[in-house]
Amino acid sequence: MGKGKTRIANTIREQRFHAGEMTQAELADAVGITRQTVIAMEQGRYSPSLEVAFRVARVFGKPLEEVFSYED
């Protein structure tokens, strides 16, 4: 897949809001990634590895499917 939007959608921004307005930097620190990676995921420019996706979902205490979805 080239540059542009991925087919993996996510609710990271909403999840951060519901988690006490967690910042992108706080999420990045909790997951072990950079803030730039969080920004790219939120904007749909980057699809995380399966491991990172599970770690993001775990930070929010949500199942993977509530944070990430695949768009046909």
Each domain of the chain, given as residue ranges in start order, spans: 8-70
Q: What are phi and psi of 50, to 5 degrees?
A: -60, -40
Burial class (CB in 10 A: 0-12, 13-18, 19+), 18: exposed
pLDDT single digits (tens) 24-62: 999 999 999 999 999 999 999 999 999 999 999 999 999
CA proximity to 24, closest of 58, 50, 49, 59 = 59
Contacts of 16 (CB under 8 A, 6+ apart): 22, 23, 24, 27
- Fold (topology level) of 8-70: 434 Repressor (Amino-terminal Domain) (1.10.260)
Q: What is the mean pLDDT of residues 12-21?
A: 98
What pLDDT does residue 31 have?
Answer: 98
5 band by pLDDT with thresholds 50, 70 and 90: confident
Measure the CA–CA gap between 6 and 8, rounded to whole angstroms.
5
pTM of the model: 0.89
